[in-house]
Amino acid sequence: MEEIDTFFFDSYAFYEIIEGNPNYKHYSKNIAIITTKLNLMELHYGLLLKYGKEKADKYYDQFAVFSVEITDNIIKKSNEFRMFMKKRKLSYVDCIGYIIAKLLNVRFLTGDKEFEDLENVEYIK
């Protein structure tokens, strides 16, 4: 039986898949997804602006089943990571996602250049 890869999808990854970026085709099938409601909030807002409520709601609802809880421990570790990386001006949401990926031992899927050289990152443009 084929092993299924698991990735933490940041908002960037969701956008690229929805937009049909061929570099993300591999990540649109036979992949286990982890994300947070905050990432889905970013996605929803971006889709609201570009496509309207119907499409934004559709994708939010479709991906909501993959969201994990953000615990107090994750918040504290994310803030420590953000402080350590403060020259990169990372968002809170991205730091939370990155820390969740590390804690769950899965790759952080993104096209955000600020994460390109970090460990545990699957950087795809």
Cβ atoms of 117 and 16 within 8 Å: the answer is no
- Give me the pLDDT at residue 44, please: 98
CATH architecture of the domain with range 5-123? 3-Layer(aba) Sandwich (3.40)
Q: Over pLDDT 70: what percentage of the chain?
A: 98
Q: Is the pLDDT of residue 1 over 60?
A: no
Percent of the chain whose pLDDT exceeds 90: 95
At CA 15, angle to CA 62 and CA 109, rounded to 5?
A: 95
92-103 vs 37-51: helix axis angle to the nearest 10? 130
The arithmetic mean of pLDDT across residues 115-124, rounded, is: 97
pTM reported for the whole predicted model: 0.94
- Chain segment 75-87, per-residue pLDDT in tens: 999 999 999 999 9
Enter the tokens of residue 15. 């956008």
